[in-house]
Structure 1
């Protein structure tokens, strides 16, 4: 992807963010050709394309499909792109955790920030204009190295994308470190109770810290193929009366995908009643889960259809990108959407909503997209329709954040003379 940039510290670059008053000749998902007018970061009007000349500053989107820009509801910028320096063994969740823990003593704030910038800008160039990242509180004398790095990156990229941070609190890291992370600007409390000796007690501890500070939570929840591990249900009952100002998100929820139908119905009803947003993470959980099931290998996803049918806000995320937890990944929401279609049997419309509108809802962000009144976070991609965009993920893209052009990309292809696709 090629992007329009000015220099940013550390050799990284950010977009000029020039405002675009009108998008001309764009195609909607419904197949209409439209002109989209933008002012003060919002879409003011969407009208039938008139074929008027493209004025200076406007963007001609002839041949492009206009979509809501993706949001990434579950990333790990502190770990991203570390695979090549760690060279971990391929394996399950336990092996990934061991590889990462062995590497963490070598991490510096600058190292983490360097990789995190690259990962965030890669996502931006692919169309993601909002991103929520978990950041590990590290064991040892300086548990806030990752926090300081990601707070720095968030500030540096604030004019091109919205970044939220979640303190990922391992078992054994004390409350003082959590408070210090929140004091540094982390937005939410998180953790992985199912990985601790006392899942219920650990969950109560983390929720208590969030309540003390009046912030929301985003929990790694039941990332196991174990139908008896259902801290999701405990979470739902514990936060049922929390105010909207303290949003609650549960990521992974893999165990729910293995539970019996009556249990799934009971848990999804509780989740819906509590207003919890759920994030399913196909690429990492398809990689990590099920390695000890050589026959009829489970998919490692949550109960997607049951959650949707219960009215739960279900988002899709990429999770890990090229680190010990997942050696693959393109930082492209269209990759996530494709996996939701193929592995979770969602429709293309459902899958794309999971990485756009539903992801923004989980992140408590205002609605965005090519509709009057919505925030002008938009992705224009050279595709004939939504299915084509998800299937082919063309690199020809324009990315707008609050009505400003923040990234663009184009491809060039050639074949032997006379051969035409």
Structure 2
């Protein structure tokens, strides 16, 4: 594949540089001041664009995406959404999941995402319980070279035989939802054991509640340390950590860091679902981002549900997620951007990407001058590169009269 030279791009630090991509190796080969790199490669003028690491989506539910109008609007809390989705799954088919998931991944890619971790339910009502997984496995093959797709099987007290079947079929990780289990401790222990048998990582929906007595995250950290679980471990949501006193949040964050657990914040869905029982002084429904960062925990952020019973909105845009981390999570723009780029890739176990020599050439060029503009304006004009290849381009025509 022919090298690609990006001319005149502004890097996050503010410098304007030419960036040479090597699609054969999938890396950034050279970065130099404008005009220093010899031509001969294909060239693309990025004057006026900010060149960033591509986004990574660390927590999606592609099997549920784009079903809000089909399922109907539930009451708006987590359990109501769970029940609405379960009732709808009777009519969900493999092809239905495939088509909705493919459309959603296209939206994610166009917005700058080159890696996605999606959870998929075991659909125990209405036929083959693995039909959602089969659809996503088909999609994973189609996406090669454009979007890297990781699949986590999400279960709540499912038969163990079914977990083995799902992992044998090709799922990448095993998920769990301990706070919805009849026995959270037993559920976490079983999930880690089964994952270890298949040599895969785990990604748990943890403490998806404002209840300060919730203990999924502490339970997971303790169990990981006791078992010496050596694969990647992720805890998503962790909402209750943001509701406890600062000293307690700091102690738990240190335990999480010691266990090597990555944490995924999910502002869109958690802000929508959490806090409805508090009509005044409504809590934000986010995890304790600052305590986790201060403890050295790998922190990522994702969009979670995209226009399904758990969240009627969502643009499949990592920059929307990052913007919410600034306004609701009180992170700096640079910290928020890292949560959906470098931090997200770290949680997914992927090597660093960005406009730097030797980094993976997964890049997002946005017509903007600064990170704060990128997050504040949601600039629509974007070019997306995966492994050094241009995989998406969005141009805008604006007419004012």
Say yes or no: TM over 0.5: yes
Residue in 2 that maps onto 1:29: 12
Residue in 2 that maps onto 1:115: 100
Q: Is 2:363 the counterpart of 1:378?
A: yes
Residues 378-417 of structure 1 mapped to structure 2, 5 A cutoff: 378-416=363-401
**CA distance in structure 2 between the aligned counterparts of 1:268 and 1:53, rounded to whole angstroms:** 49
Q: 2:142 pairs with 141, 156, 165, which one?
A: 156
Whether the 8 Å CA contact 1:24–1:54 is kept in 2: the answer is: no
Q: Is 2:280 the counterpart of 1:280?
A: no
Q: Is 2:82 the counterpart of 1:97?
A: yes
**CA distance in structure 2 between the aligned counterparts of 1:242 and 1:355, rounded to whole angstroms:** 30
Q: What count of residue pairs does the alignment treat as equivalent?
A: 398
**CA distance in structure 1 between the aligned counterparts of 2:10 and 2:363, rounded to whole angstroms:** 13
Whether the 8 Å CA contact 1:166–1:187 is kept in 2: the answer is: yes
Unpaired runs of 5+ in structure 1? 1-17, 417-421
Whether the 8 Å CA contact 1:315–1:354 is kept in 2: the answer is: yes
Residue in 2 that maps onto 1:79: 64
* TM-score calculated relative to the size of structure 2: 0.96
Q: Root-mean-square deviation (CA), in Å?
A: 1.6
SS in 1 for 2:268: helix
Residue in 1 that maps onto 2:320: 335
**CA distance in structure 1 between the aligned counterparts of 2:33 and 2:141, rounded to whole angstroms:** 39
* TM-score calculated relative to the size of structure 1: 0.92
**CA distance in structure 1 between the aligned counterparts of 2:4 and 2:48, rounded to whole angstroms:** 19
User: Which digits, 9 at most, give the CA deviation of each residue in 1:188-235, with x for residues without a partner?
Assistant: 110111012221221122122112222110000000001101110110
User: Which digits, 9 at most, give the CA deviation of each residue in 1:147-197, with x for residues without a partner?
Assistant: 0010011111112110000000123x2111111111111011101110122
Unpaired runs of 5+ in structure 2? none
**CA distance in structure 2 between the aligned counterparts of 1:264 and 1:94, rounded to whole angstroms:** 25
With over 3 angstroms needed to count, the CA separation of the structure-2 counterparts of 1:375 and 1:52, relative to structure 1, is closer
Residue in 2 that maps onto 1:49: 34
Residues 204-215 of structure 1 mapped to structure 2, 5 A cutoff: 204-215=189-200
Residue in 2 that maps onto 1:142: 128
**CA distance in structure 2 between the aligned counterparts of 1:74 and 1:177, rounded to whole angstroms:** 22
Q: Is 2:153 the counterpart of 1:167?
A: yes
**CA distance in structure 2 between the aligned counterparts of 1:91 and 1:19, rounded to whole angstroms:** 51
Residue in 2 that maps onto 1:7: none
CA deviation after TM superposition for structure 1 residue 373, in Å: 0.5
Q: Is 2:182 the counterpart of 1:197?
A: yes
User: Which digits, 9 at most, give the CA deviation of each residue in 1:115-151, with x for residues without a partner?
Assistant: 0000011100110000000000112452101100100
User: Which digits, 9 at most, give the CA deviation of each residue in 1:3-30, with x for residues without a partner?
Assistant: xxxxxxxxxxxxxxx7552111001112
**CA distance in structure 1 between the aligned counterparts of 2:218 and 2:147, rounded to whole angstroms:** 33
**CA distance in structure 2 between the aligned counterparts of 1:248 and 1:148, rounded to whole angstroms:** 24
Q: 1:320 pairs with 284, 305, 311, which one?
A: 305
**CA distance in structure 2 between the aligned counterparts of 1:93 and 1:167, rounded to whole angstroms:** 19
CA deviation after TM superposition for structure 1 residue 261, in Å: 2.4
Whether the 8 Å CA contact 1:20–1:59 is kept in 2: the answer is: no
